[in-house]
Structure 1
Amino acid sequence: EEWEVVRLGEVVIKSKGIQRGPWGGSIKKEIFVPEGYAVYEQSNVISGNVTNFRYFINKDKFEELKDFEVKEGDILITAAGTLGKLIILPNKIHKGIINQALIRIRTDEDIINKIYFKYLFDLIVEQGIIDSYSHGATLKNLSSIRVLQNIKIPLPPLPTQQKIASMLSAIDQKIEAEENKKKALEDLFKTLLHNLMTAKIRVNSLEVGV
């Protein structure tokens, strides 16, 4: 079965399916308030942490910038400096907007599976396609959403997408589990190294399986 090849702009919703964050002076530090509507930054996407925020805006500013609002299931992509890092927003997120360094994508779920899109976009980034369209010698910047809209992507039928997404997710989970085990062993090693070298633990009192 041959897969259809389409442009990325064809798999997003019709209205503001791809939205770059507000430009210019829309978000200045003097408008920030101690609490309120969150400003989502690149650091949230890169770290995968969408519960801690540095900046907030009030309701009036949020309404003014409502075109840049985030919702559950939105895909956020970094678009300046570190390009192409991606996160799919989970349920029960903090209400807020994206800043100028992010792009928000809303896919059409009747056309493309979000998890399939994530892995496909990871591949696009790995192949250097995003970098090739960026500008800036020292700070890379993906200035035009038209670049994303025109990227060609393979589009198998939805059931095939779902199978691919499930397979890759399962492997991802195994990798994460192994990385967690490795981290735990590294922490144990550092603690043991310190305790042995400072005589807090005697060698004869240890049993280490090799």
Structure 2
Amino acid sequence: MNWNTYKISEITEVVTKGTTPTTLKMNYAESGVPFLRAQNLQNGTVVLDDDTLFIDTETHKSLSRSMIRPNDVLVSIAGTIGRTALVPEGMQEMNCNQAVAIVRPNTKVDSRYLAKWLNSRGAESQILGKKVTATIANLSLSQIKSLELPLPPLPEQRRIAAILDKADAIRRKRQQAIRLAEEFLRSVFLDMFGDPVLNPKGWKTERMGDVCDVRDGTHDSPKYVENGGRALVTSKNLSAGNLDLTNVNYISEDDYVQICRRSKVDIGDILMPMIGTIGSPVLIEEKPDFAIKNVALIKFKEGSPEAIYVLNVLRSHYFKHIVNKTSRGGTQKFISLGDLRSFPLRIPPNNIQLEFSRRVRSVEGLKIKLEKTAEKDNYFFNALVQRAFRGEL
């Protein structure tokens, strides 16, 4: 391979980032121009979901520096760093906050090639080496500009990008099948129970705290330990219905025991974030070995509704509907323990809940098989990416 290496600053028109409107005494809007955060960058694309924020047209014009254009490459530079997304042609106008960098290619580089490289292990290793500290994930624009990538001639860039796009399309079909399984479960829920907001089947309603044991984790800030210790799960470790201990912090055995005296987690419990991204509940199905902080803990007792039913209620639009009425904070939402205990839970007959749980278990079994295959797809795709940027395709 005889490719020259360039810094990002040498192959871009602009490298910039956004700002939070409220710091400029501007407000968010109910609808309008999507205002992107790091969480909107997923799997190489921009995802506009129910948690997307918006600004009005005037605010968008005022934040002209961070107006996003088609073929821009977006990179998360605060919090979870290194997420990337290529803005497709025809995408609506968008803006972003300070956690998202906008990398606008010049004529030397194909935007698809640049986006693929920024998502490669070569870029990842450079990015991880430029984090400000081990505990604060943060990249500056100057650090983004200093990243170095191999750059073949434009025709070769386009050829590589086309090959990787085709391979990526195969991988995405598997991911789409997983999403369809999730959508099917939502349809089953609505078919069996009706829309909980409207409660068309007339199910009785109970406060969740009256039919379940609703607690939360510690609100203290125990000292983290470097070696050994027990994991301390916070909201950041609960995402998309999964428990992720990748970046978990650890505490001493004494602090673990103290926290577990009031909020010990057991198999069959539900955990849910109370701060930030609310409404990503996780059902604990393996023996836990961690304590919790600022996380809701829902335990089940004799006479409680089925855990899988409650889990899906908390994942539903009904929960978001109630949270929007009760949560506190602006972009950093918060729901209190009292609000969760007061949450109005529809209670269908137990036999219907059990049948729903049976159907969920069946579909979840299929999802697990699809996810295992998707892991293999990701492995082979990443291997192909590494070969691509070594000039071996």
Q: If the length of structure 1 is used for normalisation, what is the TM-score?
A: 0.75
Task: Give 1:90's aligned residue.
Answer: 88
Q: What secondary structure sits across from 1:5 in the alignment?
A: strand
1:153: how far off? 1.2
Compared with structure 1, are the counterparts of its residues 61 and 46 closer, same or farther at alpha carbon in structure 2 (3 Å cutoff)?
A: same
CA–CA distance in 2 between the matches of 1:71 and 1:183? Answer: 28
For 1:65, give the aligned amino acid.
L
Query: How many residues are aligned here?
Result: 188
Confirm whether residue 146 of structure 1 aligns to residue 142 of structure 2. Answer: yes
CA–CA distance in 1 between the matches of 2:34 and 2:177? Answer: 34
Q: Is the 8 A contact 1:50 1:93 kept in 2?
A: no
Choose the corresponding residue for 1:99, options 97, 100, 109. Answer: 97
Larger Rg: 2
Confirm whether residue 75 of structure 1 aligns to residue 239 of structure 2. Answer: no
Per-residue CA deviations over 1:86-117 (Å, capped at 9, x if unaligned) read 11112333323111110001101x21111111
1:27: how far off? 5.8
For 1:105, give the aligned amino acid.
V
Task: Give 1:44's aligned residue.
Answer: 40
Confirm whether residue 194 of structure 1 aligns to residue 191 of structure 2. Answer: no
Q: Is the 8 A contact 2:46 2:86 kept in 1?
A: no
Where structure 1 has 5 or more consecutive residues not aligned to the other structure, the ranges are: 199-210
Confirm whether residue 166 of structure 1 aligns to residue 162 of structure 2. Answer: yes
Per-residue CA deviations over 1:179-202 (Å, capped at 9, x if unaligned) read 5557779989xx9x936x99xxxx
Per-residue CA deviations over 1:132-176 (Å, capped at 9, x if unaligned) read 11124434111x211121222111101111111111112112223
Confirm whether residue 123 of structure 1 aligns to residue 287 of structure 2. Answer: no
Q: Is the 8 A contact 1:111 1:158 kept in 2?
A: yes
Compared with structure 1, are the counterparts of its residues 91 and 127 closer, same or farther at alpha carbon in structure 2 (3 Å cutoff)?
A: closer
Choose the corresponding residue for 1:21, options 18, 36, 47. Answer: 18
Stretch moving more, 120-129 or 162-171: 120-129
CA–CA distance in 1 between the matches of 2:39 and 2:134? Answer: 21
The structure, 1 or 2, with the larger RCO (C-alpha pairs under 8 Å, 6+ apart) is 1
Task: Give 1:206's aligned residue.
Answer: none
Q: Is the 8 A contact 2:17 2:100 kept in 1?
A: yes
Deviant stretches of 4+, over 4 Å? 124-127, 178-188
CA–CA distance in 2 between the matches of 1:175 and 1:50? Answer: 17
Q: What secondary structure sits across from 2:42 in the alignment?
A: helix
Q: Is the 8 A contact 2:41 2:84 kept in 1?
A: yes
1:51: how far off? 3.5
Compared with structure 1, are the counterparts of its residues 140 and 100 closer, same or farther at alpha carbon in structure 2 (3 Å cutoff)?
A: same
Q: What secondary structure sits across from 1:128 in the alignment?
A: helix
CA–CA distance in 1 between the matches of 2:19 and 2:181? Answer: 44
For 2:153, give the aligned amino acid.
P
Where structure 2 has 5 or more consecutive residues not aligned to the other structure, the ranges are: 186-354, 363-393
Q: What secondary structure sits across from 2:9 in the alignment?
A: helix
Q: What secondary structure sits across from 1:19 in the alignment?
A: strand
CA–CA distance in 2 between the matches of 1:135 and 1:78? Answer: 14
Compared with structure 1, are the counterparts of its residues 24 and 33 closer, same or farther at alpha carbon in structure 2 (3 Å cutoff)?
A: closer
